[in-house]
Amino acid sequence: MAQARATLASLAQKLQRVGQLKLTQSQEALYSLNNQLQQKQNDLNRSILAHREEKEAALLLRQQREEQTKKAEEQRREAQRQRLAQEEAKRNKEALLQAQKEKAEQERLAQQAALTQQEKIEELQAMDTTEDEQPADESADFLASLRREEQAQGIKAKSFWDNLTFKDPQKWLTGSLGYATTLRNLETLNSGREALKVGLNLNPISYFFASTTMSFDLNSYENIYYQPDFSYSFGYSDWHPNTFSLVYSNYMDNKFFPEEGKSRFNFQSGTWDLGYHNKFDAISFNANFKYVPQKRSKRLYLKAGTTLADTVVTSLQVKHYVDEEQNRIRLSAKTFLSDNLFISGSAYTYTDSDKQKPLDPDYAYSIGWKSKKPFAPSITYSNYYMPTRWGWKEEEGPHFKDGVLSVNFSLKF
């Protein structure tokens, strides 16, 4: 019994020790498992925290990128807005400059086309000169333009030899292109001359010139008495006060291909004109002695002119026929109605009305448009150099439609 008890006690102790060992092992295993679980929990927590931090970092990075993108977009839009504003300002500036240029160009062209008051007076004075005796011719316009050009350059009167200066060769030659017809041609074809006129003017030395005007018929009208193909003139003409001039001009019935036995140039039939020009205060004075060798015709012209109210050019001229007991008195007035539109009129009387010749006029007038713009046309209607008659006279003169309409272009080479 005692041995059994001892065995049981030993077995119980062994069992107790085994139980304790098992318990210890279980506790250790449980502790180890708990540690593992705690480690896994820690790892999980760290993973969750890292994931959270990574997520937060990614979110922060995305937010930063979005902010950067938004800021960049705002900067891009601002830059684009500034660029558009600059482009708009540039366009506005360019448009303003272009508008200013166009306005300046329009003003320049208007000033170029419109005649100044001084130029108007000079044009009227030039017309007053060309209406003295010879037909209205491009060479007379050339002399007037030459006078204006040299006045604009401020050339002062010097001695004759001091004035003999050569011009720039580029300015030697000028020309004109014109068209002339009678108004009657508009009513009845070939009832008057219709011609293209070409003028050439040579001026290599100051105040010395040579000029010609050629006419090319455009219709079949023929005048057996007077229908020249060309006219010509040359000489010395100085516009300064207290100066002389000597000019030869020929407006006879000159032909390119004259009939047999007739002269082409009719030199002896031309007119030599010795002139003197001076000015006393506001009154200009001209004296001209004209001689035609073939006819031995001698005529003396005395003319005084002045400008009234700074706009109207007036003149009184006496034409004395040296070989005849006859004098012609002409009173003229000319003015511009607008910047370019002018009107001119002359009245004639004769000291011996019984000796008034069939070709001597009673009156004359013209109206036209003058432009100084390059290549712009000057348009003129005129019945000068026609045998007009006052309405109360029995002899009937030419009518309005017998006047000449001309269009002229000035050219420079």
Does one domain contain both 304 and 384? yes
Say yes or no: 197 and 53 in one domain.
no
CATH number at residue 229: 2.40.160
pLDDT of 136 reads 44
Q: How many domains does the chain have?
A: 2
**Which of 284, 388, 384, 371 shows the shortest CA–CA distance to 336?**
371
Examine the domain organization and report whether 296 and 406 are in the same domain.
Answer: yes
> SS3 string of the chain?
CHHHHHHHHHHHHHHHHHHHHHHHHHHHHHHHHHHHHHHHHHHHHHHHHHHHHHHHHHHHHHHHHHHHHHHHHHHHHHHHHHHHHHHHHHHHHHHHHHHHHHHHHHHHHHHHHCCCHHHHHHHHHHHHHHCCCCCCCHHHHHHHHHHHHHHHCCCCCCCCCCCCCECCHHHCEEEEEEEEEECHHHHCCCCCCCEEEEEEEECCECCEEEEEEEEEECCCCCCCCCCCCEEEEEEECCCCCCEEEEEEEECCCCCCCCCCCCCCCCHHHCEEEEEEEEEECCEEEEEEEEEECCCCEEEEEEEEEEEECCCEEEEEEEEEECCCCEEEEEEEEEEECCCCEEEEEEEEEECCHHHCCCCCCCEEEEEEECCCCCCCEEEEEECCCCCCCCCCCCCCCCCHHHCEEEEEEEEEC
Is the domain of 174 the same as that of 89?
no
Domain that holds residue 296: 121-412
Indicate if 170 and 75 belong to the same structural domain: no
Same domain, 106 and 149: no
Domain boundary (94, 113, 132) is at 113
If asked whether residues 389 and 359 sit together in one domain, one would say: yes
At 155 the pLDDT is 47
Digit-by-digit pLDDT tens for the chain (413 residues) are 677 777 777 777 777 777 777 777 777 777 887 787 788 878 887 888 877 778 888 888 888 888 888 888 888 888 888 888 888 888 888 888 888 888 888 777 666 555 676 777 777 766 666 555 554 444 455 555 555 555 554 444 455 566 677 778 888 888 889 999 988 888 888 888 999 999 999 988 888 999 999 999 999 999 888 899 999 999 998 878 898 999 999 999 999 999 888 899 999 999 999 999 999 888 999 999 999 999 889 999 999 999 898 889 999 999 999 888 899 999 999 999 988 899 999 999 999 988 898 889 999 999 999 877 767 788 999 988 788 999 888 888 888 888 999 998 877 66
Beta-carbon contacts of 230 under 8 Å, excluding residues fewer than 6 positions away, are 212, 213, 214, 215, 254, 256
Specify the pLDDT at position 150: 53
User: pTM score, two decimals?
Assistant: 0.67
Residues 331 and 227 in one domain: yes
Query: Last residue of a domain, which of 113, 144, 179?
Result: 113
